[in-house]
Structure 1
Amino acid sequence: MATERRVRPVHRVVVLALDGVYPFELGIPQRVFGTADDHYEVVTCTVDGRPVRTCADFEINTRQGPEALRTADTVIIPPYGPPPTTAELPAAVTDALALIPATARTVSICTGAFTLAAAGLLDGRPATTHWSLADRFRELYPRVALDPDVLFVDDGDVLTSAGAASGVDVCLHLVRKDHGSELANRVARRCVVPPWREGGQAQYIEQPVPAPSETGTAATRDWALGRLAEPLTLTDLAGHARMSLRTFARRFRDEVGISPGRWLTRQRVARARELLESSDLPVEQIAGQVGFATAASLRQHLHTAIGVSPQAYRRTFQAADGD
């Protein structure tokens, strides 16, 4: 007799809209999680159930009060403005945050980190917020290990992200963490956004916009992605782009924000993660398919990127699939 597979309950994401909320970031959780094949339910609430002002010229009527936070598996706090000038929270916000279950995952986007810090949820933890507010954040919350140079920080049950588009990055990261790269990549394609930007990537790259007539490196990056198994060198990449080594390296960094070598390593790790999730290939074979010389090299790079071994990473997603 066939065993009936247990249906996993839908993960509930509750978005808390605070006074002065930024509409773009407020909509990110629904756009990302709402595209993830019914794995998530997204609801939005305010601290009192009444409409909330946005930073634009309109209000948001959410129809949900703070009681929605009691039902959350993940709570997301989008940015709001102007940023706080004191370390204290309004009483209504404090009362609302007290309703969040101890088992829930808490996420901030941009200035939402100020709320988590004021509530004491970031004390002694690594965190990030928008780079332009780093000095104010450090002044108000000196017990937080702030890193304003990264897109997002995953500290397990608490995640913080930088401004605007980094909210998309951290939400995609959570989809990938919960359900694997295949679903996260599918969501990214539907939203027409990059499927993976590592949390440690720089927030801000000061650079001029290339003139339309200049040759970029995008075509070479696409070419390299189809040849990750090959021992690609800077000479190979520059040759494909028909540039000198120096020009290519400079232009690549201007466009991407990191060196070609570091970018290649990140793409190889990302592809290795996909194969670990979706196949039963031996680690040695996966290493060869993504361009690492040995399984030991893959283990080292994967551990550096996400802190686990290939075997542990694979077990995590195999266990999730078996639920």
Structure 2
Amino acid sequence: MSAGTVAVAVLQDAGISPWEMYELSIALAVFGIPHEDLADPWYRLRLCTDEPRGASGRDAGEPYGPGFSLRTAHGLDALVGADTVIVPSVPEECVDGGREIPTALVEALREAAASGSRMVSLCTGAFALAEAGLLDGRRATAHWQHTAELAARHPSVTVDDSVLYTDDGSVLTSAGATAALDLCLHLVRRDLGAHVANQLARRLVVHAHRAGGQAQFIEAPLPPAGDEGLGPVLQWAVEHLAEPLTVNDLARRARMSPRTFHRRLLEATGTTPMRWLLQQRIARAQMLLESTDLPVERIGERSGLGTAANLRRHFTRAVGVSPTAYRRSFPTPQAPAAKAGAPAGGAGTAVR
């Protein structure tokens, strides 16, 4: 696995709004800050805009309109040839119908996809990928406030407004705000492995891993003051994945009925207790495959997935490759085997 080049496309001819800057900043924080101690080489990022270096004759250090502007050496033609192309949020007027997605961006995205680039959108960046025809026949998402418009404007796209992000291999899309960070960490996880993604998440002080299928929007009341929520019991579960945990075990430790625990976890994460446990066990198996030379049978035991056959079945379904094929991507263990029983980067501690 390798990092490669990440090209980020930004429209700034009318200025960049704070919301657009949010998703852009996420991409820059994940891929643009070197972390060679985690993986060497790290990603090589180039920021590509429709007006590089103030090409319009205006000072690139001054806003072109309400919002911010950027100084960069790369135009949209530099998207072509990048290993990964990311389109953060596009201007609001491109979403509400007041302005078309610029032809220059649409053509650059098509050329980049044709050259073999992995195409990624964050939030309303999906409108640009859709306009380029790159989402036709695919499942995609965006911020739930904009998914109805995306579906109406592009009926050939299967729009899912209920998930954090989608991964169709060469094309990935995310919802807005923190879901964009989830997708960026997912990309790191795909490229460099669970260990690196978990360590980066710790530096960013965010969830180690939220599966793309989790709900975007959950109608849940704030917990009462002094209520620690589900965090302690989920942390305990992560530390005891090798044991045959049941919903009754977790509910008893949380001092709830199984039915109440099931409801509380669904409200907090959008997923069921057993699916949550499976996600944590897959993450533990990934970490062990990357960082140890333990046989698959032992990894099945330590991750709580049981037999090697059960590990292979669940792992292949979730990750897309077999445990053995996944391990071949990490020829050198990244952490000593003595730490194999440690929690995988704090996964599961973020739900409160």
TM-score over 0.5 (shorter chain): yes
CA distance in 1, matches of 2:203, 2:65: 28
The amino acid across from 2:105 in the alignment is V
- Work out whether residues 15 and 77 of structure 1, in 8 Å CA contact, stay in contact via their aligned partners in 2: yes
- Work out whether residues 35 and 187 of structure 1, in 8 Å CA contact, stay in contact via their aligned partners in 2: no
Give the secondary structure class of the aligned counterpart of 1:167: helix
- Work out whether residues 54 and 60 of structure 1, in 8 Å CA contact, stay in contact via their aligned partners in 2: no
Q: Which of the residues 39, 42, 48 maps onto 2:42?
A: 39
Q: Which of the residues 174, 177, 182 maps onto 2:187?
A: 174
Q: Which of the residues 8, 11, 14 maps onto 1:18?
A: 11
- Work out whether residues 23 and 55 of structure 1, in 8 Å CA contact, stay in contact via their aligned partners in 2: no
Equivalent in the alignment of 1:4: none
Equivalent in the alignment of 2:85: 75
Equivalent in the alignment of 1:89: 101
User: What's the offset of the Cα at 1:103?
Assistant: 2.1
Q: CA 1:193 to 1:66, structure 2 compared with 1: closer, same or farther past 3 Å? A: same
Equivalent in the alignment of 2:347: none
CA distance in 2, matches of 1:123, 1:167: 21
* Deviates most, 155-164 or 94-103: 94-103
Report whether the alignment pairs 1:154 with 2:130: no
Give the secondary structure class of the aligned counterpart of 2:217: coil
Equivalent in the alignment of 1:206: 219
User: What's the offset of the Cα at 1:110?
Assistant: 0.7
The amino acid across from 1:80 in the alignment is V
User: What's the offset of the Cα at 1:95?
Assistant: 4.3
CA distance in 2, matches of 1:98, 1:126: 18
Q: Which of the residues 230, 237, 241 maps onto 1:224?
A: 237
Count of residues in Structure 1 that have an aligned counterpart in Structure 2: 314
Query: Where does 1:118-157 land on structure 2 (aligned, <5 Å)?
Result: 118-157=131-170
- Work out whether residues 81 and 115 of structure 2, in 8 Å CA contact, stay in contact via their aligned partners in 1: no
Equivalent in the alignment of 1:309: 322
Q: CA 1:119 to 1:234, structure 2 compared with 1: closer, same or farther past 3 Å? A: same
* Deviates most, 28-37 or 182-191: 28-37
Q: Which of the residues 37, 55, 60 maps onto 2:70?
A: 60
Q: CA 1:88 to 1:295, structure 2 compared with 1: closer, same or farther past 3 Å? A: same
User: What's the offset of the Cα at 1:140?
Assistant: 0.9
Give the secondary structure class of the aligned counterpart of 1:229: coil
Q: CA 1:247 to 1:9, structure 2 compared with 1: closer, same or farther past 3 Å? A: closer
CA distance in 1, matches of 2:161, 2:4: 30
Query: Where does 1:238-257 land on structure 2 (aligned, <5 Å)?
Result: 238-257=251-270
- Work out whether residues 150 and 202 of structure 1, in 8 Å CA contact, stay in contact via their aligned partners in 2: yes
CA distance in 1, matches of 2:65, 2:267: 32
Report whether the alignment pairs 1:116 with 2:116: no
Query: Where does 1:95-110 land on structure 2 (aligned, <5 Å)?
Result: 95-97=107-109, 100=112, 102-110=115-123
Q: CA 1:319 to 1:241, structure 2 compared with 1: closer, same or farther past 3 Å? A: closer
Equivalent in the alignment of 1:196: 209
User: How big is the alpha-carbon RMSD for the aligned residues of Structure 1 and Structure 2?
Assistant: 2.6
Percent identity reads 47
User: What's the offset of the Cα at 1:55?
Assistant: 9.4
User: What's the offset of the Cα at 1:228?
Assistant: 0.3
Give the secondary structure class of the aligned counterpart of 2:145: helix
Normalising by structure 1, we get a TM-score of: 0.88
Deviation digits for residues 250-307 of structure 1 (CA, Å, limit 9, x no counterpart): 2222222222221111100110111112222221111111112322222221122122
CA distance in 1, matches of 2:35, 2:167: 20
Q: CA 1:206 to 1:81, structure 2 compared with 1: closer, same or farther past 3 Å? A: farther
Give the secondary structure class of the aligned counterpart of 2:330: helix
Q: Which runs of 5+ in 1 are unaligned?
A: 1-7
* Deviates most, 128-137 or 86-95: 86-95
CA distance in 2, matches of 1:168, 1:152: 10
Give the secondary structure class of the aligned counterpart of 1:267: helix
Deviation digits for residues 47-85 of structure 1 (CA, Å, limit 9, x no counterpart): 132359699633333343224324522111101331152
Q: Which runs of 5+ in 2 are unaligned?
A: 55-59, 335-352
CA distance in 2, matches of 1:94, 1:258: 36
Q: CA 1:232 to 1:184, structure 2 compared with 1: closer, same or farther past 3 Å? A: same
The amino acid across from 2:8 in the alignment is V
CA distance in 1, matches of 2:99, 2:135: 13
Q: CA 1:300 to 1:255, structure 2 compared with 1: closer, same or farther past 3 Å? A: same
CA distance in 2, matches of 1:89, 1:320: 45
Give the secondary structure class of the aligned counterpart of 2:163: coil
